[in-house]
């Protein structure tokens, strides 16, 4: 066996550096608590101070409250930085796991897509051929029904004796039969693509074309937004309104746009 590793094997195995010792559950919580004891103490100190905030009735008190808010903001930023650092090894581990399995699933998905395209082409050709044959059968049945109808009408007009009466009755029955055959042929020609393209494998797999309604390019200028009104999700509407306001819009039917003040930002 060759000692050279293939690119596919290398992609599956990844780099050779060992993963860090990642803790879970109570062990992880205990380690985080130990490493961030100062942040926890600072949190408790600031939260305790919140209960001692006096009524804000002067610029002096407002200034001290702004300082307090600034300390809260600083602690939040410090905790977020610590959180990001602590989480990164776990995120990297997740990325390594994703990469490992994507090296299996991605090429398989590409192969599946390529083969599905070829199978779809075959099924479409099969469906088209079967539909042409059924449409031809319908055409022949229609011609036969029309011929039988004209024959029955001619026989009916030529009634002169008992013999011609029997011929007229036989022609009428032939016309009815031809008409029934036409209905069957029309129904056979109108079946869905799945019926005309279905194939079965030796192991039970069944393949057939599926019909679906799709769309291509969207013309923003002429798209009928009114018809889409109740199909647009609420978050999509909210994004559109925010974009409208950001672009300078101040009046919009269906909502109230107004100016308000944001929470103070202590710097």
Closest CA to 25 of 106, 90, 101: 90
Determine phi and psi for 200, rounding to 5 degrees.
-125, 140
Structure confidence at residue 210 (pLDDT):
75
Structure confidence at residue 77 (pLDDT):
95
How far is Cα 176 from Cα 148, in angstroms, rounded to an integer? 8
How far is Cα 15 from Cα 5, in angstroms, rounded to an integer? 13
How far is Cα 162 from Cα 202, in angstroms, rounded to an integer? 62
From first to last of its 267 residues, what are the pLDDT tens digits of the chain? 344 444 544 444 444 454 557 888 999 999 999 999 999 999 999 999 999 999 999 999 999 999 999 999 999 999 999 999 999 999 999 999 999 999 999 999 999 999 988 988 988 898 888 888 888 888 888 888 888 877 877 767 666 555 666 776 777 777 778 777 777 777 777 677 777 677 777 777 777 777 778 888 899 889 998 899 899 999 999 999 999 999 999 999 999 999 988 776 666
Q: Name residue 224's beta-bridge partners.
A: none
How far is Cα 200 from Cα 209, in angstroms, rounded to an integer? 13
How far is Cα 74 from Cα 64, in angstroms, rounded to an integer? 15
The DSSP element (H or E) to which 207 belongs, if any, is: strand 206-207
């Amino acid at each position: 066996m060759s000692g050279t590793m293939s690119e596919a094997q290398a992609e599956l195995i990844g780099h050779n550096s060992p993963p860090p010792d990642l803790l879970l559950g109570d062990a992880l919580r205990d380690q985080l608590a130990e490493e961030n004891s100062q942040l926890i103490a600072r949190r408790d100190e600031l939260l305790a101070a919140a209960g001692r905030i006096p009524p804000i009735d002067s610029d002096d008190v407002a200034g001290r409250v702004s300082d307090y808010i600034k300390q809260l903001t600083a602690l939040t930023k410090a905790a977020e930085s610590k959180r990001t650092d602590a989480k990164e090894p776990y995120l990297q581990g997740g990325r390594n796991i994703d990469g490992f399995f994507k090296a299996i699933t991605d090429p398989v998905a590409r192969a599946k897509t390529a083969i599905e395209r070829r199978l779809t082409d075959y099924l479409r050709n099969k469906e088209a051929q079967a539909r042409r044959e059924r449409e031809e059968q319908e055409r022949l049945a229609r011609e036969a029904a029309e011929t039988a109808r004209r024959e029955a009408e001619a026989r009916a007009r030529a009634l002169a004796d008992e013999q011609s009466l029997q011929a007229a009755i036989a022609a009428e029955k032939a016309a009815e039969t031809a008409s029934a055959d036409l209905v069957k042929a029309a129904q056979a020609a109108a079946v869905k693509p799945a019926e005309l393209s279905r194939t079965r494998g030796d192991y039970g797999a069944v393949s057939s074309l599926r019909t679906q309604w799709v769309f291509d390019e969207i013309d923003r200028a002429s798209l009928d937004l009114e018809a889409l009104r109740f199909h647009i999700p609420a978050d999509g509407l909210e994004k559109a309104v925010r974009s409208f306001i950001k672009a300078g819009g101040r009046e919009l039917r269906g909502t109230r746009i107004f100016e308000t003040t944001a929470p103070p930002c202590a710097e």
